[in-house]
Amino acid sequence: MIGGAGYVGCVLSDALLTRGYRVRVMDNLLYDHFHVAEGLIARPGTSLLVGDLRDAHALGQALDGITDVVLLASLVGDPISRKYPELAKAVNLRGSKALLDALSGRGLRRLVFTSTCSNYGLWEGTEPATESAPLTPLSVYAETKVAFEQAILERRGAIDFHPVILRLSTVFGLSPRMRFDLTVNEFARAIASGVKLDVYDKDTWRPYCHVRDICQAIISVLRAPDEVVSGEIFNVGADENNLTKEQIVEEVLRHVAGDVRFVEGGGDRRNYRVSFAKIRDTLGFRARFGLPAVVPQMVRAIRCGLYRDDAGAPDRYGNYAVRPGIV
């Protein structure tokens, strides 16, 4: 698993280990989250390699003897990719392409690439976007994801393993490598902490998916027959979790009082609803967690002081800045 110590990766590692898989994690600990790596390496069945997928030697070590690869590693999100555009292109696109080149001839079974529903950008269709909808990336982040999707699809038939592309909804929920720069998590923390929250463009739509449901979707793909998933693209999420920002705020306010102001004129133009019929009909995948069940858990975790502001590590709970030495 490349990028396996991140927000999704550490939860996925636990889910795989619980199901009897052996897991090798490669991660360059981009956000200085060494505390997560310490937790991973203590689990039986896990091996950890601290390295960068752009390092050919480290990548070769990570791939030795591996049967399946889950590619999570990237600068994830529009803000961090906008802050470090050249690094985003180097990791998300060029580094990922180098990985693709390194996979053939290893007896690999499957590559699972986690892309993003942000690729739909500004979807103006009357129905939710399916996997065949036009892509309109509006950020460096989405542009790199679309470009690598294309690189994978162009090589179908010329590679000796089975690639699968998963376009993930915006993720939410608790994780050992917690992020509060994701919409649901951000709103829950601000409101539960008594911080005044300005919400821009309350009527814009996005799909959301709990981190454990994301992991279950990845495991479903790993377990599926080759002929069912090879070369396929799947949106990952649930129809009922297509939500506006206002709906998210309303759900949080059902559980805790807060000071929220809705503001127009935000700089993020993304607005899209997504269809998840394909992954449901093909793999039987159904998301288990919605906001009504998860928000109370998050509020309790926040209010009990689990996520304290750390003056020594102000960027601990999000993809805000990369650690020194990452170029």
What is the SS3 string spanning 76-102? Answer: CCHHHHHHCHHHHHHHHHHHHHHHHHH
| Domain assignment present for 199 | no
Contact 169, 241 (CB under 8 A): yes
What is the structure's pLDDT at 309?
67
Q: Whole-angstrom distance between the N-terminal and C-terminal Cα of the chain?
A: 22
What is the structure's pLDDT at 312?
63
**Residue 34 to residues 58, 125, 156, 160, 170: CA-CA distances in angstroms?**
18, 43, 36, 35, 24
| Domain assignment present for 58 | yes
| Domain assignment present for 26 | yes
What is the structure's pLDDT at 307?
87
Q: What is the CATH number of the domain that holds 123?
A: 3.40.50.720
What is the structure's pLDDT at 15?
96
| Domain assignment present for 191 | no
Distance separating alpha carbons of residues 49 and 283, to the nearest angstrom: 32
| Domain assignment present for 214 | yes
| Domain assignment present for 224 | yes
- The pTM of this model reads 0.96
Distance separating alpha carbons of residues 63 and 55, to the nearest angstrom: 12
Contact 123, 129 (CB under 8 A): yes
Per-residue pLDDT of the chain (327 residues; tens, 9 = 90+): 999 999 999 999 999 999 999 999 999 999 988 888 887 888 889 999 999 999 999 999 999 999 999 999 999 999 999 999 999 999 999 999 999 999 999 999 999 999 999 999 999 888 999 999 999 999 999 999 999 999 999 998 889 999 999 999 999 999 999 999 999 999 999 999 999 999 999 999 999 999 999 999 999 999 999 999 999 999 999 999 999 999 999 999 999 999 999 998 877 888 999 999 999 999 999 999 999 999 999 999 999 988 876 656 778 899 999 988 887
| Domain assignment present for 325 | no
Q: Which residues contact 240 (CB under 8 A, 6 or more apart)?
A: 290
What is the structure's pLDDT at 245?
97
Cα angle 83, 321, 40; round to 5: 135
Q: Which domain holds residue 41?
A: 9-174+208-240+274-289
Distance separating alpha carbons of residues 15 and 169, to the nearest angstrom: 19
| Domain assignment present for 310 | no
What total of structural domains would you count in the chain?
1
275: alpha, beta or left, given left = phi > 0 and alpha = psi -120 to 50? beta
